[in-house]
Amino acid sequence: MKKQIFNLINIYDSIIIARHKNPDFDAYGSQFGLYYALREYFPKKNIYVVGDDNSLNKFQTFDNVSDETYKESLVLILDTVASQMLDPVVYKNYDKLVFIDHHRNDPDIDYDIVLQEKDASSTAEIITSLLIDWDIPINLDSARALYIGIIGDTGRFMHNNTTSRTLMFASKLLETGIDISKIHNSIYTENKESKNVKNKFFNLVQYTKNNVAYSKNDKDFLEKYNLSTNYTSRGLVNQMAGMEEVHIWVNFTFDQESEKIICEIRSRDIAVLDVAKKYGGGGHLNACGCTVNTWEETDKIIKDLDKLMEENIWKQITFYKK
């Protein structure tokens, strides 16, 4: 599979590198990590990066690509295999389509090749592996991007998706000379206003009877503090993490563009993916999401998560009694 993808990259003169909408650090990191390496290795090819933008972009602006260019290009889609996570233009106009991803849901789009490593910590980890296997040098810009992708999806190597393989590839990126202190400071420092918003957000968090934490961020909340949907949804969800009593937490955010509600579900040690799948979403066992149409549906998700927490509490009690 890896060789097939490399052969296609060799053949095509026009390559488009895409990823999911509302990008996180792994989406950005894997996309630009691959882009910077391929651009240097194949200087005569036309290589494009496409997609929407947000405040997490630590790299560069995106390319505007015509439909005609799409139709003659190899399109590489990273960090998702789900149609709901993509702009339709990305997967409806292409000559060849390749998915590279680490999530656990199956593709719902026609493709030519799919490479899914569901045990990888991140798509950035997969891209690092591919570049090494293909013997394509990872330059400083590529290494910086890939490292950002890996620490983004592993929570600075604190999540249980971090493996010895993850750390091995991270060490390969460090060998390029990237300044990890500078990288971490650029990502994890924030201004006083941002800290203040997080405090206000946390004060609005509610809890179910089994201590599932949740927050409903409606249109008024976003407008009051001038917040983007992506920042509120993904940037604030883990403000609910780290509480001893809370094993599952979920963040619901109104998306003004689609007028739907984005759900980000997280857990410390309980698999919550099936709940996301029930509502048309996907992701990882302990970090996943979905999109719903009404606040009434969010209440159903909360109820399902509370039931899941109750079932797991009972299992723990039963285990200890034995």
Predicted local confidence at residue 191, as pLDDT: 85
H or E element at residue 288: strand 287-292
C-alpha span between 43 and 45 (Å, rounded) = 6
Task: Give the torsion through C-alpha atoms of 192, 197, 200, 206, to 10 deg.
Answer: -140
Do the beta carbons of residue 238 and residue 265 sit within 8 Å? no
Q: Which two tokens stand for residue 148?
A: 């950002």
pLDDT confidence of residue 167: 98
Q: Distance (Å, rounded) from C-alpha 143 to C-alpha 138?
A: 6
Residue 315: per-residue pLDDT? 59
Residues with Cβ within 8 Å of 256's Cβ and at least 6 positions away in sequence, in order, are 219, 222, 229
Q: Tell me the CA end-to-end span of the chain in Å, nearest whole number.
A: 47
Domains defined for the chain, CATH in brackets: 2-187 (3.90.1640.10), 194-321 (3.10.310.30)
Residue 173's pLDDT is 98
Compute CA distances 83 → 27, 56, 280, whole Å: 15, 22, 11
For 106-144, the pLDDT digits (tens) are 899 999 999 999 999 999 999 999 999 999 999 999 999
**HSE on the CB side for 204, CA within 13 Å?**
17
Supply the DSSP string of 48-100, one letter for each residue: EE-----TT--S-PPPP--HHHHHTSEEEEES---GGGS-HHHHHS-SEEEEE
**Residues of the chain below pLDDT 50:** 317-322
